[in-house]
Amino acid sequence: MSAAASLQKAIYERLAGDVALTALIGDGGVRDYLQTGAHRPGVRIVSLESRDASTASEAGEEHLLTLEVLTGEGGNRAAQEISARVRVLLDDADLELDGFVLVSLFHRRTRIGRDAKAKGHVAEMMFRAVTE
């Protein structure tokens, strides 16, 4: 398994296993795949870009992760509540990775806007992680 795959798995498990987040989005609300007829509200792992961050003595990778928080009629307030919970769960989290070590995982930004097609809001969240 690659460091990126191990990181994605750990993030998915952290989000899907959180009772408070599940209360906000319902069972099955965390996804790491494209779904037709999107479940709303929900959290989706949209992309994970990885690049080499090795030093002279240690192999490492930098990962830029994008998550989307999707809301329906709950709008901006629901997007804020859900994205706040996601940030609590992931920002500076100590996640166990299979075969790798998570050096850091930090929130970089969140942008919330209207989703005109679905009559709701989308919060795009960016995180940066470093693995060894």
Q: 45-103 pLDDT, tens per residue?
A: 999 999 988 888 888 899 999 999 988 776 889 999 999 999 999 999 999 999 999 99
**Does residue 113 contact residue 121 with C-beta atoms inside 8 Å?**
yes
Count CB atoms within 10 A of the CB of residue 12. Answer: 15
Residue 36 is classified by DSSP as S
Q: Where are the alpha helices (H) located in 1-132, listed in sequence order?
A: 3-16, 19-25, 75-90
Its pTM stands at 0.90
**Does residue 7 contact residue 129 with C-beta atoms inside 8 Å?**
yes
Q: 15: closest CA among 80, 7, 124, 78? A: 7
